[in-house]
Amino acid sequence: MDKKAEIDKIRDSGGEANIGTEADGAVVETLSLNDKKLIIIKERAIYQLQMADDIDPDRTNINLPRMIQKLYIEQGTESELVCRTFLTAKRLLKEGCINDDVDVSKILELSLELLHELIALQTEIDNYQKKEKEVSEDYYNQQGSFKIPSIGDVTTRCKTIFQKADHIEQFMIETITVFYPNQKITKQAHFPRFHEIANKLYGPNDPLVLFVKGTLHFMLINRQLRNGLDHRLETVTVHDFQIQPDSSITSPSIQLNHKDVKLQRQSLSLFLPNIFQDFVMIYENMMAYLTDKHIKPGPLNFRVNVVPEDKRRNKSIQFSLWSPIGKDGFFDQS
């Protein structure tokens, strides 16, 4: 048998693959992206599976395994974050139900990338909080030493956190560009630009327009904090632990004094977790509003709706396509 015939036999053969480990739990869902990537969603992990022919279509490397798997995220269907972001997008963006000019596979790819960035942001915030708690506990365990607690690199940590926050906004904007391919929204745009376009398309009292309007202040604060930290501008002030005239110690904080937006001095240990939760909430609701605007007309008259808690198959996924058939309508939670 020549080498070409041998590689063809290997590539064309059937078989099965064990994805990940037993610790990941069971395979719950799968998703094909652009007919080249197969996403395997397990209870506690997400994997990407690629066929050898997608990597080596000319079949030149006989040693390449027929299927290659890669761990993408160490969280799966048991994770509230995964459910409220990627799995929400997957449930809403059903092929055949969305307008033809919307690239569903691209949006789902972006959703996975955004999820990756959210996990990175959460990790940075968790690491900061652990460090602040550790330093604070050391100080109170050594009272009387006249040593002020200090994190040391608090400004650097903030810079990293707000850079990641900025990346998340960029993924959201890129997602919007895919929903609106003809509106000349660039990936470098920001939410005020989308609000302007949505207002022209739907009017100022439209639910999507009102929702986007409600995000503008939050997005502006994050953008100006990132700009100030990146360029070492006087608009942003970060404080480590500080001793006060009455000998009390204030925890690390951040403050923004920009001509367009102000942020009063905020405790980092309280402020940073709220940023993460707000991004999750914004993405989750944004996907619901955007999907609802781009549903293809059909006999079931689908809209996006909130699934009543007692009817949810997954308690962490609150949205689904809904059809007004039957007494309470039909929630497509597949």
Q: Dihedral of the CA atoms 27, 29, 33, 36 (nearest 10)?
A: 30
Helix (H) and strand (E) counts in the chain: 9, 12
Place of tokens 């994997």: 47
Q: Phi and psi dihedrals of 61, rounded to 5? A: -115, 100
DSSP reduced 3-state for 30: strand
pLDDT at 40: 95
66-89 b/e (C-beta count within 10 Å ≥ 16 → b): eeebeebbebbbebebbbbbbbbb
What was the pLDDT predicted at 329?
93
pLDDT at 241: 93
Given a cut of 50, the residues of the chain with pLDDT beneath it are: 1
Do strands 236-239 and 242-243 pair parallel, antiparallel, or not at all (unpaired)? Answer: unpaired
Q: What is the pLDDT of residue 11?
A: 67
Look at residues 65, 66, 67, 63 and name the one whose alpha carbon lies nearest to residue 48. Answer: 67
pLDDT at res. 1: 47
Could you tell me the pTM of the whole model? Answer: 0.92
